[in-house]
Amino acid sequence: MPINPVFLNGKWLSIDQAMISPLDRGFLFADGCYEVIPIYNQKVFRLSDHLQRLEYSLQSLGIDSGYSNKDWVELFSHLVKQTDDKNYKSYIYLQITRGVESKRDHIVKEAIVPTVFCYAENTATLNDLPEAISVTLQEDIRWHRGDIKAISLLGSVLARRQAMDEGYDDCIFYRDNEIVESSSSNLFIVEGGVVKTPPLSNWLLGGITRLVLLELLEKYRIPFSVEPISVEQLHHASEIWLSSSIKELIPVRQIDGQLISNGEMGEVLKKIWDCWRQYIHSYSENQIESKLT
Ligand SMILES: Cc1ncc(COP(=O)(O)O)c(C=O)c1O
């Protein structure tokens, strides 16, 4: 649940009072983008990476938010203070749409001010790896610009619902026999002892968790490769996991009913989980990135 008050267009309001016009282009056309930024121990996680991705999304959509990095930092500092100091993990949700127009029209003919909505939420701390999930493979029905963190998530919503209706927890998308990502996370496999993840492209989101994991693989000299992964490779992988800001790392135990490493937790993932937890703890104790201006 969002912590009150939430931020909407320069005002701090209770969530019940935060209203937007039905002529907002976010509502009419899903014309906007968003960010989800973890907070550990009241420190914003990898702020500059999240701000860089936000800027990339805004630029790709041609939206000028009117906010500088300094403005975002000031806003996030307020949100951080709202979080429970005894709750180790929280996150910031930020959504920016092109704004409210006077008449519904695909083409924006007038100068409009973007709508900015932002709040913080406390979440459960993940001390142990989340329970392993079952997934199904689905052809990627989403659009060609998965690299933009756009609010138009209908493709993912429908795919996830279909997966759940069929008794799976989530789905993994493929295109032309190549693995892309999951409905709301990136994907890693282990093949022949080497950790592999698909390269960034217009089809998938450049996850910040993925980025940190690649840094950790490098730092701890765990063999890895960023390369295209085929559907066959996925089926033969000895380990598979998903990565995202909210869920961190999620082991996959089954694909379309086929068990991965006999449904057991893989050794490589165990090691990476330890490196990840260590990184998160030292980050939340030492870093001062939330002071970025
Ligand atoms: C489609 C998709 N891919 C990957 C990710 C992982 O990104 P991050 O690690 O920055 O949360 C997300 C997160 O929401 C996502 O929606």
77 and 150 belong to one structural domain: no
Predicted confidence (pLDDT) at residue 289 exceeds the cutoff of 80: no
In this structure, the residues whose C-beta lies within 6 A of any atom of ligand 1 are 36, 181, 184-186, 205, 207-210, 243-245
Q: What is the pLDDT of residues 13-50, one digit of tens each?
A: 999 999 999 999 999 999 999 999 999 999 999 999 99
178 and 149 belong to one structural domain: yes
Q: Which of 203, 245, 276 to mutate to test the pocket of ligand 1 (most atoms within 8 A of CB)?
A: 245
What's the CATH code of the domain at 266? Answer: 3.20.10.10
> Active-site residues: which are they?
149
Is residue 219 assigned to a domain? yes
The reported pLDDT for the residue numbered 170 is: 98
Predicted confidence (pLDDT) at residue 158 exceeds the cutoff of 70: yes
Predicted confidence (pLDDT) at residue 291 exceeds the cutoff of 70: no
Cβ neighbours around 166 below 10 Å, total: 12
The reported pLDDT for the residue numbered 287 is: 60
Percent of the chain exceeding pLDDT 70 equals 98
Which of these three, 73, 102, 123, is where a domain ends? Answer: 123
196 and 246 belong to one structural domain: yes
115 and 239 belong to one structural domain: no
Q: To the nearest 10°, the Cα dihedral for 161, 163, 165, 168?
A: -130
Is residue 131 a contact partner of residue 53, using CB atoms and an 8 Å limit? no
Who has greater pLDDT, 81 or 283?
A: 81
**Which structure tokens are listed for 90?**
């929280």
229 and 176 belong to one structural domain: yes
How many domains does the structure of the chain reveal? Answer: 2
**Which structure tokens are listed for 11?**
């005002």
Q: Which of 52, 205, 214, 276 to mutate to test the pocket of ligand 1 (most atoms within 8 A of CB)?
A: 205
What's the CATH code of the domain at 34? Answer: 3.30.470.10
Predicted confidence (pLDDT) at residue 188 exceeds the cutoff of 60: yes
192 and 264 belong to one structural domain: yes
Is residue 288 assigned to a domain? no
Which of these three, 93, 123, 153, is where a domain ends? Answer: 123
Domain limits at 76? 6-123
204 and 222 belong to one structural domain: yes
Residue nearest to atom 5 of ligand 1 (CA): 185
Predicted confidence (pLDDT) at residue 161 exceeds the cutoff of 60: yes
Cα-to-centroid distance, 187 and ligand 1 (Å): 10
Is residue 235 assigned to a domain? yes
Secondary structure string (H, E, C) spanning the chain: CCCCCEEECCEEECCCCCCCCCCEHHHHHCCEEEEEEEEECCEECCHHHHHHHHHHHHHHHCCCCCCCHHHHHHHHHHHHHHCCCCCCEEEEEEEEECCECCCCCCCCCCCCCCEEEEEEEEECCCCCCCCCEEEEEEECCCCCCCCCCECCCHHHHHHHHHHHHCCCCEEEEEECCEEEEECCCEEEEEECCEEEECCCCCCCCCCHHHHHHHHHHHHCCCCEEECCCEHHHHHHCCEEEEEECCCEEEEEEEECCEECHHHCCCHHHHHHHHHHHHHHHHHHHHCCHHHCC
Rounded distance between C-alpha atoms, residue 8 and residue 16, angstroms: 12
Is residue 293 assigned to a domain? no
Which of these three, 81, 101, 123, is where a domain ends? Answer: 123
